[in-house]
Amino acid sequence: MKLAIIPARGGSKRIPRKNIKPFCGKPMIAWSIEAALESGCFDRVVVSTDDAEIAEVARQQGAEVPFMRPAEFSDDHTGTIPVIRHAIETMNSQGRLVEQACCLYATAPFIRAEDLRQGLDILQGSDVDYAFSMTSYAFPIQRALRLTREGRVEMFNPEHFTTRSQDLEEAYHDAGQFYWGRADAWLQGKMIFSPTSLPVMLPRHRVQDIDTPEDWVRAEWLFKAMQAQLG
């Protein structure tokens, strides 16, 4: 079975109730659910949550909530892999064995069905454990700056002060949208960011972390601009 798992706990603090807060006319989580259903990749699309209201919204948007996430996997310190492992183990115990599972974040409104299909194609067409969304940094990380305790400025890599930007190696980061993985990789807790993974490259304009109210406003601006261009 190919399983989509959307983690959506109820305890968001910086943006209260952000998983179901309206975003461009729909509950935020609806965008991830719709992309998963539209992709045609999955036998089941489930939401892992500890919150009854989130569970109800998820069902209204077409996802399943066949279990409630226990408290030990719902605090501020629980990582993604334990949450996905719990979901796979729970679904396996209910009868149908999971072969591939894709973690989709609930706050990823820029996620697209075709990207999910590409991730599955990459996973099935290779011997890797994971395929996940990735994008490039907009600025060379080798020229990054830090503030000292005294509030002064220094470079992380001062040896690159005079290096031209075009001569520096390009760097990439997790786009924070989805992670396809083989069930055994999730269950064994294998690290996602490793040589046993392959990327699904996304353009930077379709990548936006949404962790603060300012992030939310910027994401809505970008989303509306993209929708206007498409329509």
**Which CATH number fits the domain that encloses residue 52?**
3.90.550.10
Q: What is the pLDDT of residues 40-93, one digit of tens each?
A: 999 999 999 999 999 999 999 999 999 999 988 888 788 999 999 999 999 999
pLDDT surpassing 70 at residue 231: no
In a domain? residue 76: yes
Across 129-147, average pLDDT: 97
In a domain? residue 207: yes
In a domain? residue 194: yes
In a domain? residue 144: no
Question: pTM of whole model > 0.85?
Answer: yes
In a domain? residue 159: no
What band does 187 get if pLDDT is binned at 50, 70 and 90?
very high
Percent of the chain at pLDDT exceeding 90: 89
In a domain? residue 91: yes
Total count of domains within the chain: 1
Sign of the dihedral through C-alpha 215, 220, 221, 226? positive
In a domain? residue 224: yes
Percent of the chain at pLDDT exceeding 70: 100
- Domain extent, residue 72, equals 2-134+173-230
In a domain? residue 141: no
